[in-house]
Amino acid sequence: MIKQFIAGSCYSYILGFENEALLIDPHISLPEEYREYLTNNKLTLKFIVDTHTHADHFSSAAVLKKQLKAPVLMHEKAISGVADRRLKDNDQINIGTVGIKVIYTPGHTDDAISLYGDGKLFSGDVLLVGSVGRTDFQNGSPESMFDTLQKIKALPDETALYPGHDYHEQRSSTIAKEKQGNPFLKETNKEAFAGNMRSKIIPKPFNIDNIIRVNQKGQATSLEMIEPRDASSLLKQDPQTKILDVRTASEFSQAHIDNSLN
């Protein structure tokens, strides 16, 4: 049982096997939806996994850890005050009778992992549909990304791909389709690949340093969603109030409340 949740361009997943569930990359705007799905399907949340330290949105791992008493799992290189268990390459996460393999997939960040099991790959922000994650911050590395992609290309062609992001409403793919149509998987020269990645000038996510810090410390537990009409009065009462805008990045760039986070 797989359920994909969408918050703007961010994808998160619940995997359910024999009344147990694994939640992957939970978004700060969706805890209620996760809880409702778990309840309706009689699933007990066993583990929460953040595939890496997110820089463009807040994770709700800390929120759900507190609410549902489920441990948070992250790679051993992740700087995190939230993670209860540290993962490394080839570790296994057991959900019901299904074993989910941890694949260390650095490149986008140095703490990035993908999860592979039951013929499916949950690739976080490493391999996207038709693209790959950027490699220019959080100890990202084009060379590491190239090596990671070679590892992913070795998976069976029929493997279903479920990414952590997409900007064109492409919700899934397969390794075969990506090998055929993803230009980043077609490149066979590491030096050329790295040069191409370094040539891309992409604006960094708004408020990236604050988002990373909040996710590392699990401080998103103190954030609350409010109605837009309440934002102005809250800001007047306390200038330190942080407003989280959960629309897509393109919508946010067109207009947003001053000093709000996205």
Chain segment 45-86, per-residue pLDDT in tens: 999 999 999 998 999 999 999 999 999 999 999 999 999 999
DSSP 8-state class, residue 128: E
Chain segment 113-131, per-residue pLDDT in tens: 999 999 999 999 999 999 9
Chain segment 75-113, per-residue pLDDT in tens: 999 999 999 999 999 999 999 999 999 999 999 999 999
Judge whether 173 and 158 are in contact, CB under 8 Å. Answer: no
Judge whether 262 and 206 are in contact, CB under 8 Å. Answer: yes
Average of per-residue pLDDT values in the chain: 91
Picking from 151, 149, 145, 152, the residue whose alpha carbon sits closest to that of residue 194 is 145
What does the pLDDT read at residue 163? 98
What domains are defined for the chain?
2-198 (3.60.15.10), 224-262 (no CATH)
Sheet containing 173-174: order of strands = 92-95, 98-104, 113-117, 120-124, 160-163, 173-174
- Mean pLDDT for 214-225 is 75
DSSP 8-state class, residue 40: H
Chain segment 165-196, per-residue pLDDT in tens: 987 878 999 999 999 999 999 999 999 999 99
Alpha carbon 75 to chain centroid, angstroms: 13
Q: Which two tokens stand for residue 58?
A: 């807040």
Beta bridge partners of 134: none
Please tell me the distance from the alpha carbon of residue 117 to that of residue 100, in angstroms, as a whole number: 5
Is the pLDDT at 223 greater than 60, yes or no?
no
Task: Please calculate the CA angle 163-164-169 and round it to the nearest 5 degrees.
Answer: 70
